[in-house]
Structure 1
Amino acid sequence: MSDEPTTPGPDPAAAPEQPAAPGEPSSAGHPVESAPAREQTGIIDLHDTRAIPSRRPHDAGDDAWFDVFGGEHPIEGAAVPARADSSWGSDRADARAEEAHRSAYAPPAPAPGPDPDVSPATPVVSAQTGAQHPAYAGPVPAAPGSESTSAAAPGGPGGVLLTDAPQPARRRGRGRLAAAVVALCLLSGVVGGIAGQLVESRISLGGSTLPEPGAGATQRPAGSVANIAANALPSVVTIKVDAGSEGSATGSGFVLDNKGHVLTNNHVVEPGVNGDIEVVLSNGDTEKATIVGRDASYDLAVLRINRTDLRPLTLGPSDKVVVGDQVIAVGAPLGLDQTVTTGIVSALNRPVQPGDPGESSYINAIQTDAAINPGNSGGPLLDMTGKVIGVNSAIARVPGTSGSTGGSIGLGFAIPSDQARRTADQLIATGKATHPVIGVSLDRTFSGEGAQVDDKAGSVTAGGPAAKAGVKPGDVIVGFEGKRIRTPDQLIVSIRARAVGDTVTLKVQRDGQELELKMTLEADPAK
């Protein structure tokens, strides 16, 4: 752009002049013709719509759309942005001031002369006269053969003089020395910064020294799921059954003692009674197993392998379990060995009758929402101390689905450890388990609440526990050991959960009356 003065023209960045009303003089004294009508636009808010005017009203008091958002713009004065070609306050004026500043303080070009090392002094403006003088710090040397034309400034020889006398130029050598010093300082700072970063990051040029986890840093605290699982997994086994032409099956189990006994479900090993049973340990070792004893009614079985170096799991007290306790299920669901799932105890004393109708099991089960799937059967259900409180045995499935398509829907069932302990001890000792009975036949067609004793003759076994306690045909048993009985299965699993020789209390209804009877449980003579 040329620096020659030009005729001022419109600037898009500057505020436009406000047009006057038609027929009235403008701020420049020229008449304004009527502007052609333009389409009105509007802005919509929650209350109304106001048209945006196509021109600015001359009357400042007019309630125009713009006034809703801000004050009126002045057309002249200090608040009006200057035009781009004005001498002050514009882009052109700023550019000129910047150019003058750079010219005043830019390094001067060497002056022509015999000495190329001489450079002129930088001019400064005297505060008193406004004239330009060379700046010099120190006394002013006099020219040879002449007297000094100035005196030292107040403050002695070290003061600053503003004088018209010519000054000796500085040597470039000093500038080079100063530049070298500055470069050395910068280099030292960079080297020091890099060295500090290396030390801070603990990075060695000879190899990495990043911190590594110390011994035991990956161990989990006692009582955590990871810690309990790590301690329990070596004691949990996978059981593989080869039933020959009938196929094969997979289940779970866990080590009972240091004599090679493994506890599992009866329905896991039953197909292998006349076949082969293998126990796969946590380290992958496979051992042949034999059946020590099994009991279909309790759905429990004990195997034995030729290993005495295994660590057993501890059976805890299931009668101390309450709803809401956290539990951990371990086993081989769908053949995926060493699987750990977690959940809570969602119910207690749930009557469960899995198995075929001819050989049903009666379980007073612990219900859990820990994921249990086919293959988990026989595996342990652990509490948060790592003790076994149940043996995973059954899962619920949606009505209408088959056993081959069923999976975990958050309703799994485990045999209480108290029952498992009694049965396992009996199977190891004698190869079979005893079942407590009361000596009555129940009416499965009864639709009322409770378990009704059949009213036929012989429904109460002569000389049995119920007969000795005074139970008669047609009685409805509605309570057992203080717990309400609603169905026959609930009564059966409540009895099976007790031990032979226990004394229990029955509550029965007879002819509209409610009676409380005591009896002692006896072993099933048929077993």
Structure 2
Amino acid sequence: MTDPNATSLAAISSSLADIVARTAPAVVSVHSHRLRASGFVWKPGLVVTADEALAEDGEISVKLADSAERPARIAGRDHTTDVALLRVDTGSTPPATLSATVPALGSLALVVAAERGAPTASLAMVSLVGERWRSLRGGEIDARLELDVHLRHSHQGGLAVDASGQAVGMAVQGPRRVLVIPAATIERVAARLESHGRIARGYLGLGLQPVRLDEGVGAMVMNVDKQGPAAAAGIRQGDVIVGLNDEKLTGVRALARALGPDSVGSVVDVSVRRAGEPVHFKLTIGERPEA
């Protein structure tokens, strides 16, 4: 007599193995200087990998699923969202199909990565699902997804796949947990890197320190870039920024959040306290210079 539990387990096992087999051809190994990571073919000739797992300098090579190893170069990288884009001859390797689906909390997922070109797979559980959030470096991430799984450094940049076989994002190592950079973020950032090579960020040219005021909070100007937009507008060291576009400032982080890619070139009204007196400035947000 057949054990129904054994039959169910075999069916689950077979389904997971099939998902890995369908996903693995798009997954690659990335070797940069002394670091190894994973990645995936995003478009013909373009590979997405985890920026944090990519060396800052040195030669880069990509090993495809067919064991072919090709030289690669950086098309662009964004430290704030952990997305890097490489240009490489991907041959006939099929690109991954990303899905904007957000898996349910508690559902099973797989991380399909590569180790020196050989595919690897790890079974995970979706341990947290949340709203859009901002990384510690200021990048906009379209959904908060965490996986309960052990992730080797060399497996960062692999595909996170839900139980239906849809690639929902890229697995990376976050602070004390494994995060998924969702497909929506990858598509948005990688497209910008493909066309521009970098992600523009707004720039005021100010060093700021949060301060408490009777009416709330402010951002004290500690230093001013003499060539920056704020200096051109007339803002000085010692000024305290208290508002932006007639809205009260809620903190330095809130001000930083207002300096996303779409802010570059926009004109804003900055409310300042100078020696206790209110002053207003019109300021054109610049583009943050590359480090």
TM-score bucket of the superposed structures, by smaller chain: 0.5 to 0.7
Give me the whole-angstrom Cα distance separating, in 2, the residues matched to 1:332 and 1:389. Answer: 17
User: Partner residue of 2:271?
Assistant: none
Deviation at residue 231 of structure 1 after TM alignment: 0.4
- Aligned AA for 2:48? L
Shift in Å, 1:311? 0.6
Secondary structure at the counterpart of residue 476 of structure 1: coil
Shift of 1:367: 1.5
**2:147 matches 1:368:** yes
The higher radius of gyration belongs to 1
Measure, in 1, the Cα distance between the counterparts of 2:155 and 2:205: 35
What letter corresponds to residue 326 of structure 1 in structure 2?
A: L
1:287: how far off?
Answer: 1.2
> Structure 1's 225 and 433: CA in aligned 2 closer, same or farther, altered over 3 A?
same
- Secondary structure of 1:229's match? helix
Cα deviation code 1:234-257 (max 9, x no counterpart): 110011123xxxxx1100100111
Distance 2:59 2:244 in 1: 47
For residue 280 of structure 1, report the CA deviation from its aligned partner.
1.0
**DSSP-derived class of the 2:164 partner:** coil
2:12 paired with 1:227: no
Deviation at 1:343, TM superposition (A): 1.8
- Runs of 5+ unmatched residues, structure 1: 1-218, 243-247, 354-359, 398-410, 478-486, 502-521
Of 30, 42, 46, the residue aligned with 1:261 is 46
Per-residue CA deviation, residues 418-477 of structure 1 (Å, 9 max, x unaligned), is: 11111100111121123468999764688xxxx9541458999679xx9653134xx326
Q: Work out the CA distance in 2 between the residues paired with 1:438 and 1:222.
A: 54
Counterparts of 2:23 and 2:122 in 1: how far apart (Å)? 13
Q: Give the whole-Å Cα distance in 2 for the aligned partners of 1:493 and 1:295.
A: 16
Q: What is the match of residue 433 of structure 1?
A: 199
Counterpart selection for 1:283 from 66, 70, 82: 66
CA distance, structure 2, for counterparts of residue 263 and residue 287 of structure 1: 15
430, 444, 454: which is aligned to 2:219? 454
Which aligned pairs between 1:194-205 and structure 2 lie closer than 5 A? none
Note if contact 2:211-2:217 (Cα within 8 Å) is conserved in structure 1: no
Tell me the alpha carbon deviations over residues 209-232 of structure 1, each in whole angstroms, 9 at most, x when there is no partner.
xxxxxxxxxx97899322211100
Q: Secondary structure at the match of 1:338?
A: strand
Matching residue of 1:526 = 288
Q: Equivalents in 1 of 2:82, 2:161: separation in Å?
A: 19
Work out which of the residue numbers 404, 413, 422 in structure 1 matches 2:188: 422
Cα-to-partner distance string for 1:487-508 (whole Å, 9 max, x where unaligned): 94xx589768x8737xxxxxxx
SS at match of 1:307: coil
Question: What code does the residue aligned with 1:255 have?
Answer: V
Contact preservation (8 Å) 2:62, 2:69: yes
| Aligned residue number for residue 345 of structure 1 | 126
Once the two structures are TM-superposed, the CA of residue 277 in structure 1 deviates from its matched residue by 1.1
The whole-number CA distance in structure 2 between the counterparts of 1:291 and 1:442 is: 33
Amino acid at match of 2:39: G
* Displacement of 1:278: 1.1
Q: Distance in 2 between matches of 1:370 and 1:328?
A: 9
| TM norm structure 1 | 0.39
SS of residue in 2 equivalent to 1:421: helix
Q: 1:391 aligns with which of 159, 164, 170?
A: 170
- Alpha-carbon spacing, 1:452–1:524, altered in 2? closer, same or farther (3 Å): farther
The structure where strand makes up a greater share of residues is 2
The amino acid that maps onto 2:79 is A
- Is 1:305 matched with 2:88? yes
**2: CA distance between counterparts of 1:288 and 1:444?**
46
Show the counterpart of 2:250.
Answer: 476
Aligned equivalents of 2:182 and 2:80: distance in 1? 14
Equivalent position SS for 2:180: strand
| Map of 2:237 onto structure 1 | none
Aligned Cα root-mean-square deviation (Å): 4.0
Structure 1 residues 109-148: aligned runs within 5 Å: none
What is the one-letter code of the residue matched to 2:164?
Answer: T
Distance in 2 of aligned mates of 1:379 and 1:421: 15
Confirm or deny: 8 A CA contact 1:323 1:346 kept in the other structure. yes
The offset of 1:302, in angstroms, is: 0.9
Amino acid at match of 1:379: G
> Aligned letter for 1:525?
E
The answer as to 2:38 corresponding to 1:252 is: yes
From the superposition, tell whether residues 377 and 453 of structure 1 become closer, same or farther in structure 2 (CA, over 3 Å). Answer: farther
Distance in 2 between the 1:254 and 1:493 partners? 31
Alignment length (residue pairs): 240
Name the counterpart of 1:327.
109
> 1:366: Cα distance to partner?
2.0
Q: CA deviation at 1:373?
A: 2.1
Amino acid at match of 1:392: A
Distance 1:342 1:437 in 2: 42
Local SS of the residue matching 1:308? coil
Letter in 1 for 2:287: P
- Structure 1 vs Structure 2: percent identity of aligned residues? 22
CA contact (8 A) 2:202 2:288 kept: no
Unaligned runs of 5+ in 2: 1-9, 235-241, 264-283
Q: Which amino acid aligns with 2:120?
A: T
When residues 458 and 278 of structure 1 are mapped into structure 2, their CA distance, relative to the original with a 3 A threshold, is: closer
**Per-residue deviation at 1:298?**
2.3
DSSP 3-state at the match of 2:154:
coil
Give the match's secondary structure for 2:151.
Answer: coil
> Which amino acid in the other structure matches residue 250 of structure 2?
V
Tell whether the 8 Å contact from 1:500 to 1:523 is kept in structure 2 after alignment.
no
Counterparts of 1:47-196 in structure 2, within 5 Å, are none
Distance 2:257 2:222 in 1: 25
Deviation for aligned residue 1:339: 1.4
Conserved? CA contact 2:80–2:135, under 8 Å: no
Distance 2:39 2:196 in 1: 20
- Going from structure 1 to structure 2, the CA distance change for 1:292 and 1:470 (only over 3 Å counts) comes to same
